[in-house]
Amino acid sequence: MPPKPDENTAALWQQLADAQSSLIHVKIGESIMANVTVTFTITEFCLHTGISEEELNEIVGLGWLNRVRSVKQRVFDDHAAIVVQRAVRLRHELALDWHGIAVALTLMDDIAHLKQENRLLRQRLSRFVTHP
């Protein structure tokens, strides 16, 4: 069972909401580069993703999810949370173990990369091919 939210978690969600709302108020034609990374403690990460600390330790032990090292403690970034949420969805929908999920996630990432590469190559090719 995931732990209950605490004040730190509420503050973290508020910071994320503030960061997202500040990105919404961009004028048309104005370009802003913002790179916001949210980090989670182990407790916050388990609460956010819905996995237990034991499952999290198993995933980290398999080596396909890495902790972000900080000065005070080990934390996870928002990308890791997205990966684990995808993994949990695969686990529930396909009843895979963590090893199978690692393979499935790798293949899904490869497919996404190949689709992107294919799209870019088609764009380049379209410059040389005339359409009737």
pLDDT tens column, 6-44: 666 666 666 655 555 444 444 445 556 667 778 888 889
Residue 56 · residue 44 · CB < 8 Å: no
- What local confidence, expressed as pLDDT, does residue 25 receive? 44
Averaged pLDDT of the chain: 79
- What local confidence, expressed as pLDDT, does residue 23 receive? 44
Nearest to 81 by CA among 41, 107, 49, 50: 49
- What local confidence, expressed as pLDDT, does residue 29 receive? 52
Banded pLDDT at 1 (limits 50, 70, 90): very low
Nearest to 50 by CA among 89, 107, 10: 89
Greater model confidence, 72 or 76: 76
- Give per-residue pLDDT as tens, 77-132: 888 899 999 999 999 999 999 999 999 999 999 999 999 999 999 999 988 887 66
Whether 3 has a pLDDT exceeding 60, the answer reads: no
